[in-house]
Amino acid sequence: MADVIVGIQWGDEGKGKIVDALAKEYDYVVRYQGGHNAGHTIVVDSQKIALHLLPSGILYSHCKNVIGNGVVINLNALLDEMSAFKDLEGRLFISDKAHIILPYHEILDKAREKSLQQTAIGTTGKGIGPCYTDKIARHGVRITDLKHLELLRSKIESIHAQMQYVQSLYGVELPSVDSVMAHIESIAPKILPFVVDSAQLLWSAQAQGKKILCEGAQGSMLDIDHGTYPFVTSSTTIAAGACSGSGLAPRDIHSVIGIAKAYCTRVGNGAFPTEEKGDIGHRIREVGKEFGTTTGRARRCGWFDALAVRYACRLNGCDSISLMKLDVLDGFECVKVCVGYEYEGKEIDYVPTDYEGVKPIYKVFEGWDKTSHVREFSALPQAAKLYIQELEKLIGVRIAMISTSPERADIIRR
């Protein structure tokens, strides 16, 4: 059976730390969607380790790590990340069905964002969206194409011809077919030893009784179908994506662990009802070090949105929640939680499709002094305990783990 780790807010919830905490109990860790626009930061003995494409189980020598078919891969970024680790053969596997981000994807991504100006999505500009667009349009390039370079050249030539409109529309210059192919030919031999049919690999692992952990990128509120569209990512970020992005069947999923911060953040544009743009938001950002792992850009910060989290828990079928960064709220005189919305002149208790028009209705909680580095629930300040217990009631899911610092060991298990 497989368990799934999924973000329950707008991403950056701290999934990497929980995957890292759990990975030692699993034989396989599978990344099932997203690209190198995502980042997981893990702190081990005060040393920060940033992962973008490699599954978080890569830090454990016994774990086999799979980049699934639902991931889109920048080959340069992958090789750079692989270079930081030794002895990856037999520990890293790349799906032959995963799609490749080509140089023109990044050019198109940045050009589109620039042209949209005020209505820009706020992407990382790394070509993720255009790569997924080509995948859905059925003219993408997959990892398996690296095995047949002559056929790949003809495919690149066809794509390049179709992309000519970009040069005139956005005033950019696309790399030539020869330069793209020369680059791919130099990289392919370094990638191919790790390429497998990942679905077959995972089915075989299941038949042998191996334990599998699937990790997603981004968060449920950025899901292409169920998120705050159009300000979303280009893949299925909810637990259902673990199946489509790995080859596992729904019946193979045992439990779903949702990850949420004790407050809320998002990057890019789009609705964020509980955002605090003044001193409170600034304080959360500075104390929580809310700057992107991949881009370094500042995250928008605000209070916990119980309606959004409850909605995401239902979408994912969460069995439990891991609550991250409780310690960031230490020292606040009061802490707020969104428990309802004002929408079209009335109060509602659900997430509407037209999310841009909602205003938060808050419940105010007493603040607390210190939760940092606490590892037992009984040792938490009473006000922090009450906050956690009330969150459980509001979202309808048990909070099974609580992180109280960036350090690997600072986790309360309930």
| Binding residue numbers for Mg(2+) | 12, 39
* Packing angle of the helix pair 177-191, 103-116 (nearest 10 deg): 120
Cα–Cα distance measured from residue 212 to residue 26, given in angstroms and rounded to the nearest whole number? 6
- Are the CB atoms for 398 and 361 separated by under 8 Å? no
SS3 71: strand
Measured in whole angstroms, the distance separating CA 181 from the mean position of its chain's CA atoms is 30
Binding region for GTP:
11-17, 39-41, 299, 325-327, 403-405
Q: Are 80 and 105 in contact (CB under 8 A)?
A: no
CA angle at 149 for the pair 148 and 150, rounded to the nearest 5°: 95
Distance CA 112, CA 121 (A): 10
Asked if 92 and 82 count as a contact pair (C-beta separation under 8 A), the reply is: yes
**Known binding residues for substrate:** 293-299
Annotated binding site: 11-17, 37-41, 124, 138, 218, 233, 293-299, 325-327, 403-405
Q: What is the DSSP string of 19-57?
A: HHHHHTT-SEEEE-SB-TT--EEEEETTEEEEESSS-GG
> Which residue type occupies 344?
E
Helix (H, G, I), strand (E, B) or coil at 208: coil
Structural tokens at position 77: 């970024």
Closest CA to 157 of 100, 104, 195, 109: 104
- Residues making up the annotated binding site for IMP are 12-15, 37-40, 124, 138, 218, 233, 297
Residue 297 DSSP symbol: P
**What is d(CA 167, CA 174) in angstroms, rounded to the nearest whole number?**
7
- Catalytic sites, residue numbers: 12, 40, 135
Q: Which amino acid is at 207?
A: A
Token reading at 3: 């368990």
Of the candidates 118, 410, 398, the one whose C-alpha atom is nearest the C-alpha of residue 257 is 398
Question: CA neighbours within 13 Å on the CB side: how many for 281?
Answer: 15
On the question of a cis peptide bond just before residue 230, with omega within 30 degrees of 0, the verdict is: yes
